[in-house]
Amino acid sequence: MDRRKMGPREHLGLLFVLVLLLSLWFVRHTSREPAFLAVTENPNAQEQERASEPNEVESTRPDHSHPAFAERVVERQRMVDSQIRSRDVKDPNTLKAMQAVPRHAFVPARYQPSVYEDHPLPIEEGQTISQPYIVAFMTEVLKLDPNSIVLEIGTGSGYQAAVCAEIARRVYTIEIVEPLAVTAAKRLKELGYSNVFVKAGDGYYGWPEKGPFDAIIGTAAADRIPPPLIEQLKPGGRMILPVRGETGFQYLILITKDAEGRLDRLNVMPVRFVPMTGEVQKRD
């Protein structure tokens, strides 16, 4: 048997291993919160990673941090009670949205005193912002929930889009008058409505790349219902828009599409909206 004695190099090696083992024992038993554990054993680490995945990010509803949300709250409360709740709008989400959205942030300076009154008001480019009750009524009829994807035709000031965006997941809105689209997009962004997307264009064609939609709302009176909008309505979806009949009177029409794609049409109430322009006026 080879019983060779250990030389100085082996002694050094043994000493090194001993020191290493000792220091490992020391770290393990004395340090209470070793930094490397804090990182690798974070139970939320995976969650956080998932949340930052772009397709998984939940739509961000407005956080109401803009100062306008805290202004004229009592006037809005009065508007909701006396013009909307009193006329039988009952959906709690709609009432909450009408209370939340600062309507005065959507209207030109000269109409500020009457912005919470019971009527429509002029906005830029000869267009109008609807009466608060009509906005609430149309919103309620759509039966929106936090998963709804909405299409609006006729952005105007952006007010109706903001009301829908308080409830729905995302709102896509189209405005044919480009300066209005630009102003509304800027306003909505400033107010924190990052779940509203504005496009300048003719709403007749809808927004096929973003559809189909759970709900479609038209806020300009069409001479007939644009067929592309019907196509872009999801089965189970609802669409409300003003349509001008042969007599010249306008009615709000509610279209529902059932799970099999069958359509139902209901005349809801007489209204007065600005006309829908563009393609819808060209065809017979």
Residues acting as catalytic residues: 130
| Residue closer to ligand SAH (CB basis): 212 or 278 | 278
Structure tokens at 41: 């054993």
Of 232-261, which residues contact ligand SAH (CB under 6 A)?
none
Structure tokens at 171: 């709102």
| Residue closer to ligand SAH (CB basis): 154 or 211 | 154
Verify binding: residue 127, ligand SAH, rule CB under 6 A.
yes
Give min distance, CB of 236 to ligand SAH, in A: 24
Choice from 150, 176, 185, 191 touching ligand SAH (CB under 6 A): 176
Number of Cβ within a 10 Å radius of residue 55: 4
Verify binding: residue 132, ligand SAH, rule CB under 6 A.
no
Exposure string of 168-189, with b = 16+ CB inside 10 Å and e = fewer, is bbbbbbbbbbeebbebbbebbe
| Residue closer to ligand SAH (CB basis): 235 or 270 | 270
Give min distance, CB of 159 to ligand SAH, in A: 4
Count helices and strands in the chain by DSSP H and E runs = 10, 9
Give min distance, CB of 116 to ligand SAH, in A: 15
CB burial class (10 A; 0-12, 13-18, 19+) of residue 23? exposed
Verify binding: residue 144, ligand SAH, rule CB under 6 A.
no
Of 187-216, which residues contact ligand SAH (CB under 6 A)?
202-204
Verify binding: residue 174, ligand SAH, rule CB under 6 A.
yes
Verify binding: residue 166, ligand SAH, rule CB under 6 A.
no
Number of Cβ within a 10 Å radius of residue 110: 9
CA dihedral for 191, 88, 250, 245, sign (positive or negative): positive
Q: Which stretch binds ligand SAH (CB under 6 A): 40-48, 50-58, 90-98, 153-161?
A: 153-161
How many residues belong to the site for ligand SAH (CB under 6 A)? 24
Give min distance, CB of 65 to ligand SAH, in A: 22
Please list the alpha-helical segments (H only) found in 80-142: 92-100, 132-141
Give min distance, CB of 274 to ligand SAH, in A: 5
Angle, alpha carbons 186-187-193 (nearest 5°): 95
190: helix, coil or strand? Answer: helix
Choice from 93, 99, 128, 256 touching ligand SAH (CB under 6 A): 128
Please list the alpha-helical segments (H only) found in 66-105: 73-79, 92-100
Binding site for ligand SAH (CB under 6 A): 127-130, 153-154, 156-157, 159-160, 174-177, 180, 202-204, 219-220, 274, 276-278
